[in-house]
Amino acid sequence: MRLFFALEPSPEDARAIAEWRERYLPAQGRAVPAANFHITLAFLGEVSQQRLDRLCSAVDNTLDAGAPSTLELGLTEPGYWSKPRICWLGPDRWPRELDQLAHKLDQLGVAEGCKRNRGEYRPHITLYRGCDAPPPAPILAPDFELSLDHFALFESRQGRTGVSYEPVAAWELL
């Protein structure tokens, strides 16, 4: 199974972001369906069922020792990365708890044999893939207040109509 941990915006927020994108951020690339919007916390890659079970127990134990509270994130910054060729939307600043959660989940993945996530953690929602150039600055600046009260472990599945992300476990932020 190809797995990753991510925060999931509410369907209403995802819809509002997709509407803003359609109106104000036209880009050359493949628009990610709103149902697939997520903020990756840690990417794990291929994980066996046995390791998945251990990983979920490890997350349970970690949260028992102290779960972060609901994360409030203001998405105000559109961005573009040339190497993965994606256009994204993210916060211009974010709470330390978010970095700590991403780091902890990465460590739990490494303990189960997954590759470490490299580089600085930068929360974002990918809006377009396959972009060869940054889109023009949006006519209306984005300003979305997200209240994120859970995160999930998702399985990425490649189907005939495209990729879908299926939650295999979820944890509440209190």
Nearer to ligand 2AM, 59 or 89 (CB): 89
Closest by alpha carbon to 39, among 131, 162, 119, 147? 147
Q: DSSP string spanning 94-107?
A: --HHHHHHHHHHHH
Active site annotation includes 124: yes
- Give yes or no for a contact between 88 and 95, defined as CB atoms under 8 angstroms apart: no
Nearer to ligand 2AM, 4 or 171 (CB): 4
Catalytic annotation, pick one of 89, 124, 127, 146: 124
Closest contact distance (angstroms) between CB of 40 and ligand 2AM is: 4
Nearer to ligand 2AM, 2 or 15 (CB): 2
- If one counts every other C-beta atom within 10 angstroms of the C-beta of residue 86, the result is 21
**Which residue has its beta carbon closest to ligand 2AM?**
43
The strand pair at 71-81 and 144-148 is best described as antiparallel
Binding site for ligand 2AM (CB under 6 A): 4, 40, 43, 117, 124, 126, 156
Active site residues: 38, 124
